Amino acid sequence: MDYRTMDRNIYHKEFRVKIILLMLFVFIITGCSTVRTYSTNVPSEEEIAESITYNFNEIKKGGHLRTEAYLSEGFSSVRRITYFYRAKHDSDKVDIQLYARMGGSKWCLIEQVYDEFDEKINITLIEKKSISRNFVSEDFALNLSMKDLEKLSQQDISFKALGISCTMAFTIDKRVSNAFINRLYKHI
């Protein structure tokens, strides 16, 4: 092997490494930009309605709606709850959930949720995960009917999440509920 061939091989290896590093950088940047965040202040109902996403599947003849995530009032410095609405509909039924994520420094181990009228809410426990050594999150969803959603759209309603090691109160803003139900009515 002569020196010109060796130089060319070294150049190609350096070029490949640069390309791989560039692709890795682009992957990291685009991955970080797609992470969903939450809004700390609930905007106007019109802005909420504009931010609701809707996807329709022609084959299944059904659609999905989703709001942005919002930080609930009633959070503490130790725990916080973010929430968003999501719904799935097809020709004969609608499934509505208020998806909530409780985050904090310690596990709450949520088992039940009650509204401010002491009515037990049907929930689905979704996921518990440790984000870091000092932060854990628990995801759960309140399974709602159209009647429940209509009630939520008329006034801010507080909920109480009861866990083995904590109790956490959180409030759902009626503007988010109202914008969501109005958009849902347009698609069902």
pLDDT tens profile 19-64: 666 565 555 555 443 344 555 578 888 999 999 998 887 777 788 8
**Torsion-angle region of residue 129: left (phi > 0), alpha (psi -120 to 50) or beta?**
beta
pLDDT for res 27: 53
3 C-beta neighbours (distance < 10 Å), count: 7
Q: Which of 110, 104, 165 is nearest to 137 (CA)?
A: 104
Better-scored residue on pLDDT, 123 or 63:
123
Confidence category of residue 179, pLDDT binned at 50, 70, 90: very high
With a threshold of 0.75, does the pTM exceed it? no
pLDDT for res 162: 94
pLDDT for res 5: 53
pLDDT for res 35: 40
pLDDT for res 72: 87
Residue at 135: amino acid letter: F
pLDDT for res 32: 42
Better-scored residue on pLDDT, 158 or 40:
158
pLDDT for res 147: 94
DSSP state of 106: S
Cβ proximity of 70 and 38 under 8 Å = yes
Residue at 148: amino acid letter: D
Average pLDDT, the chain: 82
Better-scored residue on pLDDT, 41 or 185:
185
pLDDT for res 96: 95
pLDDT for res 33: 39
| Mean local confidence (pLDDT), 126-145 | 91
For the four alpha carbons of 80, 83, 69 and 42, in that order, the dihedral sign comes to: negative
